[in-house]
């Protein structure tokens, strides 16, 4: 593990300055506390921060950034640190800013359907608050542990249970308040005009300067997050399908029919109990299971949607598609309907490593992305585990390539990094974009990018963060 230490006496002088800003209880340079923030389950190198700081207000964040900017010390914002792709590792040392104390749900507007939240509000907190106060509303919630941030999920274009209907979480932001690396506050959206957090419409949209940048351009302190009507009845349908091509045919019809709330296409490896140790698929096991979630305001509506889906499947069968409906064990059914879903598959290998690279691809390229991902994994001696989820009625489709691995085995880590780089390259060639890429994968993305796009990123970064203090190692330009 690399540990960048600021040279004493500047270290203790800096510690004192941080203590003056946030109070002694909310800053630490003790190694056992810094260690917690030095890594994540991904294959990226761990690195210790010099300090961990937990600010309690926007003003404190401003003061910390002014100080860090003056002294040219790196600052890395983090809430859950659970992207599984090293996006909050403090690669340049410096100050790890744990944002969890900024945890106010400031406003919920049930009519225009949005919630204004601070940057430390977790998905579990917002879910509970809505269940208790506005049970007919919910938000785009990832199937991640509920200690992850609502805003940090929007920073990384995360997906949730409403994404097939309405898009990913970054689409659902009405406005932002941001502390810029030099300490000023910027508001974008209708909140720039006054106290309204209604919409991002009709003004130049500056949210793109902060979403997708992995903390390299500023710290979002508040956001208005769109809420959606929560369906009163939800149900499931499950299918086994023999081939990927057959699955894609069906997927194209289902997404456009607007009958489903969510569709999961899981490789067989996601359903087998021996998945990571079994090189070949057992005879007779279908390649794919497709889980469908649908909903309605009445049982009649749900029944009608189920009938329509059944008819689409029958039509596909008449054309030779091998597909079979099945009833899974009750526990699995209950789990699929939970938000977040319990996902047991990522923690099953000795050594504790888990990385999953997603790629947002064209729906029509799903088959190729699936097959090629499988080949790349096999080439490097990994079992593949793919999950496909279409978003926004199929405008874009997420394919997640998940890899548990032994973090203690450097040779295995190296092989996995090769897999991730090749998958990224493959997905871009198919017209896709890697989702929440790790720093290793970000480099491949930038190599593919038009030089003018990269130059423009550099200009923006230099304009907003002239001393390059924010999240070094992310989008290293
Ligand atoms: C079991 C499991 C299942 C998962 N399932 C899903 C899923 O279904 N859908 C999904 O979308 N994701 C999923 N994830 C991935 C991930 O956990 C989530 O996307 C989660 O929302 C990340 O949030 P976080 O708080 O951990 O982010 P962090 O790692 O804390 O932050 C993410 C990035 O944003 C930056 N950042 C954080 N806060 C700010 C801020 N206020 N201003 C500027 N930059 C900031 C950080 O520096 C970092 O670069 C899953 C993860 C696990 C472990």
Distance between Cα 321 and ligand 1 center (Å): 38
Q: Which pairing describes strands 228-229 and 27-28: parallel, antiparallel, or unpaired?
A: unpaired
Closest atom of ligand 1 to CA, residue 149: 25
Computed over every residue of the chain, the mean pLDDT equals 95
pLDDT of residue 231: 96
Range 437-452 average pLDDT: 98
- What is the band of 19 on the pLDDT scale with cuts at 50, 70, 90? very high
pLDDT of residue 142: 98
Cβ(297)–Cβ(328) below 8 Å: no
Reported as a single tens digit per residue, the pLDDT across 281-323 is: 888 889 999 999 999 999 999 999 999 999 999 999 999 999 9
Mutate to test the pocket of ligand 1, among 58, 82, 181, 341 (most ligand atoms within 8 A of CB): 82
What is the C-alpha to C-alpha distance for residues 249 and 245, in angstroms, rounded to an integer? 6
- What is the band of 350 on the pLDDT scale with cuts at 50, 70, 90? confident
Our answer on whether the CB atom of 87 is closer than 6 Å to any ligand 1 atom is yes
Closest atom of ligand 1 to CA, residue 340: 8
- What is the band of 95 on the pLDDT scale with cuts at 50, 70, 90? very high
Residues in Cβ contact with 114 at an 8 Å cutoff, skipping those fewer than 6 apart: 108, 174, 197, 198, 224, 225, 226, 227
Cβ(388)–Cβ(451) below 8 Å: no
Q: Is pLDDT above 70 for 272?
A: no
Cβ(381)–Cβ(336) below 8 Å: no
Closest atom of ligand 1 to CA, residue 148: 25
Reported as a single tens digit per residue, the pLDDT across 43-77 is: 999 999 999 999 999 999 999 999 999 999 999 99
Mutate to test the pocket of ligand 1, among 87, 90, 142, 145 (most ligand atoms within 8 A of CB): 142
Which residues of the chain form CATH 3.30.465.10? 105-229
- Of these ranges, 272-286, 332-346, 365-379, the one predicted with the greatest mean pLDDT is 365-379
DSSP summary character for residue 122? B
Whole-angstrom CA distances from 330 to 260, 289, 326, 333, 464 are: 20, 16, 12, 5, 52
Tell me the β-bridge partners of 118.
222
Residue found by looking up tokens 């091509």 in the block: 245
Our answer on whether the CB atom of 47 is closer than 6 Å to any ligand 1 atom is no
Share of the chain above pLDDT 90, in %: 90
- What is the band of 344 on the pLDDT scale with cuts at 50, 70, 90? low
Closest atom of ligand 1 to CA, residue 81: 29
Tell me the β-bridge partners of 361.
397
Range 264-278 average pLDDT: 75
User: How many CB atoms within 10 Å of residue 371?
Assistant: 14
Share of the chain above pLDDT 70, in %: 95
Q: Strand, helix or coil at 341? A: coil
Mutate to test the pocket of ligand 1, among 44, 75, 83 (most ligand atoms within 8 A of CB): 83
Q: Is pLDDT above 80 for 275?
A: no
Range 193-197 average pLDDT: 97
pLDDT of residue 202: 98
Distance between Cα 214 and ligand 1 center (Å): 10
Sign of CA dihedral 449, 453, 455, 460: negative
Distance between Cα 386 and ligand 1 center (Å): 20
Q: Please give the CATH superfamily to which domain 236-437 belongs.
A: FAD-linked oxidases, C-terminal domain (3.40.462.10)
Distance between Cα 148 and ligand 1 center (Å): 6
When computed from its CA atoms, the radius of gyration of the chain, rounded to whole angstroms, is 23
What's the CA angle centered on 464, arms 459 and 466, to 5 degrees? 80
User: Which pTM was predicted?
Assistant: 0.97
Cβ(287)–Cβ(244) below 8 Å: yes
Tokens of 115: 């919630």
Which residues of the chain form CATH 3.40.462.10? 236-437
Cβ(85)–Cβ(355) below 8 Å: yes
pLDDT of residue 5: 61
Our answer on whether the CB atom of 86 is closer than 6 Å to any ligand 1 atom is no
What's 167-190 look like in SS3? CCHHHHEEEEEEECCCCCEEEECH
Our answer on whether the CB atom of 473 is closer than 6 Å to any ligand 1 atom is no
Distance between Cα 88 and ligand 1 center (Å): 9
Q: Is pLDDT above 60 for 104?
A: yes
Distance between Cα 345 and ligand 1 center (Å): 18
Closest atom of ligand 1 to CA, residue 119: 41
CATH of domain 105-229: 3.30.465.10
């Amino acid at each position: 593990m690399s540990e960048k230490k600021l040279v004493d006496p500047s270290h203790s002088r800096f510690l004192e300055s941080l203590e003056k800003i946030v109070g002694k209880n909310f800053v630490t340079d003790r190694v056992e506390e810094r260690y917690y923030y030095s890594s994540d389950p991904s294959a990226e190198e761990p690195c210790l921060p010099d300090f961990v700081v937990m600010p309690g207000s926007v003003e404190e964040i401003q003061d910390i950034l002014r100080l860090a900017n003056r002294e040219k010390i790196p600052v890395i914002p983090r809430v859950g640190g659970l992207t599984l792709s090293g996006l909050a590792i403090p690669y340049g040392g410096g100050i790890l800013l744990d944002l969890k104390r900024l945890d106010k749900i400031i406003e919920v507007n049930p009519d225009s359907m949005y919630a204004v939240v601070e940057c430390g509000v977790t998905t579990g907190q917002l879910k509970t608050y809505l269940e208790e106060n506005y049970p007919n509303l919910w938000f785009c919630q990832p199937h991640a542990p509920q200690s992850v941030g609502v805003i940090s999920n929007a920073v990384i274009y995360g997906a949730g249970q409403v994404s097939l209907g309405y898009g990913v979480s970054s689409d659902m932001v009405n406005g932002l308040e941001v502390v810029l690396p030099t300490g000023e506050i910027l508001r974008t959206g209708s909140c720039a005009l006054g106290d309204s957090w209604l919409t991002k419409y009709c003004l130049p949209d500056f949210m793109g300067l902060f979403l997708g940048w992995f903390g390299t351009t500023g710290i979002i302190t508040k956001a208005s997050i769109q809420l959606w009507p929560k369906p009163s009845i939800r149900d499931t349908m499950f299918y086994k399908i023999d081939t990927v091509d057959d699955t894609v045919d069906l997927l194209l019809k289902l997404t456009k029919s607007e009958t489903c709330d969510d569709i999961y296409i899981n490789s067989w490896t996601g359903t087998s109990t021996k998945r990571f140790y079994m090189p070949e698929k057992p005879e007779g096991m279908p390649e794919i299971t497709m889980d469908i979630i649908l909903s309605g305001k009445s049982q009649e509506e749900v029944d009608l949607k189920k009938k329509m889906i059944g008819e689409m499947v029958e039509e596909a069968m008449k054309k030779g598609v091998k597909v079979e409906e099945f009833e899974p064990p009750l526990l699995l059914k209950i789990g699929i309907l939970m938000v977040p879903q319990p996902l047991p598959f990522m923690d099953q290998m000795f050594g504790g490593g888990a990385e999953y690279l997603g790629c947002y691809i064209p729906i029509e390229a799903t088959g190729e992305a699936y097959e090629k991902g499988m080949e790349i994994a096999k080439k490097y001696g990994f079992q593949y585990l793919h999950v496909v989820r279409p978003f926004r009625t199929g405008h874009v489709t997420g394919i997640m390539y998940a890899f548990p691995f032994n973090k203690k085995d450097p040779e295995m880590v190296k092989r996995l990094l090769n897999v991730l780089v090749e998958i990224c390259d493959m997905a871009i060639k198919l017209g896709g974009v890697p989702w929440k890429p790790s720093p290793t994968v970000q480099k491949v993305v930038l190599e593919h990018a038009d030089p003018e796009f990269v130059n423009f990123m550099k200009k923006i970064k230099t304009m907003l963060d002239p001393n390059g203090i924010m999240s070094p190692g992310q989008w290293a330009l």
